[in-house]
Structures are given as C-alpha cells and as structure tokens.
Chain A
Amino acid sequence: MVTPVSAAGNAEILNKILAAGAKPAKETQESFIPFESIFKEAVNNVKLTEAVVQADAIKVAAGDADALHTLTVDMAKADIALQMLVQVRNKALEAYNEIMRITL
C-alpha cells in the first residue's frame, strides 16, 4: 500500500529519507497480491468509516459539533472507502468474466 506523504519543513531531506525507506515497516514481504485480504480490508474500511459518519450525524443532531472539519474529513473518507470497495468489486468481476471467457 502506498503511504502518501506531504513534506513539512525541510522538503528535500524528508523526501530523500522517505524515498529511501520505501518499504513501510509494517508490511511483510509478499511476492503475490493476496486478493482476499484486499477485498476484506476494503469491506472493513467501509464498515469503519460508515460507523464514524453515523456517529458524527448523531453528534450533530445532539448539538456536539464544534470542529466541523472532522465531519467533512470523515465524510470524505467514507466516500473513498466505498469507491475503493466498488472498484475492487468491479475489477474482480472483470477478472472473473475474463477467465470465464477463456475456458470455452
């Protein structure tokens, strides 16, 4: 997964160091794409971000919304997660259809 970084302060130094350490520490070495985990992760992200947006809606109704950027960022994340899930599904469907077309 790509971790996007925006430079803060000393731009060149940051970029150099972050480019050098391109492998994020948490990910293990895998030579193939584990599709199932990607799909599960996408579904999970949608669940999590949806829950956050629902909680935000309740907070607004109850009157506890002060830092409104939190709401908009949560909405944007929910959008992104859902779009990711839909695209993953589309690609999977495409791949499936492609395979089905071969085995004739």
Chain B
Amino acid sequence: MSFLRSLNIPGSSLTAQKFRMEIAAQNMANAASNAGSRVYAKKTAVLGERRDYGAFKREYSNAVNEINSYGGVEVKSVTEDASFKVEYDPQNPLADENGYVKIPNIDTTEEMIEMMLASRAYEANVTAFNAVKQMAEKALEIGK
C-alpha cells in the first residue's frame, strides 16, 4: 500500500479529529442562524475504527495479520439533528403566526468542549506520529 504503513494509524486520526473540529466550528457558526421553515441541522461526526485489509481479507487469521490490518479511526457518518428550539420574537420577519422563531438546538459550550477534545486528541496523535517516525529512523542504525 504505502511505505511505512504504520504512519496511517495516527495519520487517519489526525484527519478524523480535524474533521470533528470543522463540524464543531460549523455548528458554532450556525448556532443562531434561522432560515425560516428550514432550521440548520446540528451535525455530529460518528467515529468508528478503520481497517486496512489490503488485497486480501486477512482478518483474524493470526495476531500478526490482525494487527497489520489496523488502520486507526475514521468518520463513519455525519448525523444531523434537525431538532430546534423556539424563541418568542414577533418583530422577526421569519416569525410564524404566533411570533415564534425556530433556532437550531445548538449549545455553544458543548461545541467548544467538542473542539477542545478534538484538539487534545489531535495532539496525542501527533506525538504518536512522531514516535513512529523516530522508530523507523532508529532502525537505520542497525547497519551502521
């Protein structure tokens, strides 16, 4: 597949965490938006384990093949939550007949925490990435 495939494990996580941050940022940006009848749907990234089976399906044949199929993590799907809160604002041009405006059910604090978690996970995986690189470079010293 690629040279030093083990880099894909932390690498996949870097991609996934970045995506998570983007989703959280998008949610935060749209926290107060209201487009009338259509409300912004809060997005959530669903993470799942990623596997690289390569050319053949080698799962579970032995410990080595199992471990060689590990691929880190990936975003399996993005769920959308279209639930909304209502706010009484009769002056708003988008208010319905009772004066209520629909706004997305987004808690900015929650989204901030999500961003911090994703950032922390990103850092942990950067350390892991550097560890793999350092080990591979160390292997060159065998023949010296």
Chain A in direct contact with chain B (Cβ < 8 angstroms): yes
A71 to B137 alpha-carbon distance, docked (Å): 12
Q: What is the size, in residues, of chain A's interface with B at 8 Å between Cβ atoms? A: 13
Q: Which of A60, A65, A69 contacts B142 (CB 8 A)?
A: A69
Task: Assess whether A76 is interfacial by the CB under 8 Å rule.
Answer: yes
Task: Assess whether B12 is interfacial by the CB under 8 Å rule.
Answer: no
Determine if B136 and A63 form an interchain contact, defined as CB atoms under 8 angstroms apart. Answer: no
Which residues of chain A come closer than 8 Å to B140, judged between CB atoms? 68, 72
A contacts, CB < 8 Å to B: 60, 63-66, 68-69, 71-73, 75-76, 79
CB distance from A31 to the nearest CB of B (A): 38
7 A-B residue contacts at CB 8 Å? A60-B3, A63-B3, A66-B4, A66-B5, A69-B142, A72-B139, A73-B142
- Tell me the B125-144 residues at the A interface (CB within 8 Å): 136, 139-140, 142-143
Which residues of chain A come closer than 8 Å to B34, judged between CB atoms? none
B interface SS class? helix
CB distance from B130 to the nearest CB of A (A): 16
Task: Assess whether B2 is interfacial by the CB under 8 Å rule.
Answer: yes
Determine if B6 and A66 form an interchain contact, defined as CB atoms under 8 angstroms apart. Answer: yes
11 more A-B contacts (CB under 8 A) besides A64-B1, A75-B143?
A60-B3, A63-B3, A65-B3, A66-B68, A68-B4, A69-B139, A72-B139, A72-B140, A72-B142, A76-B142, A76-B143
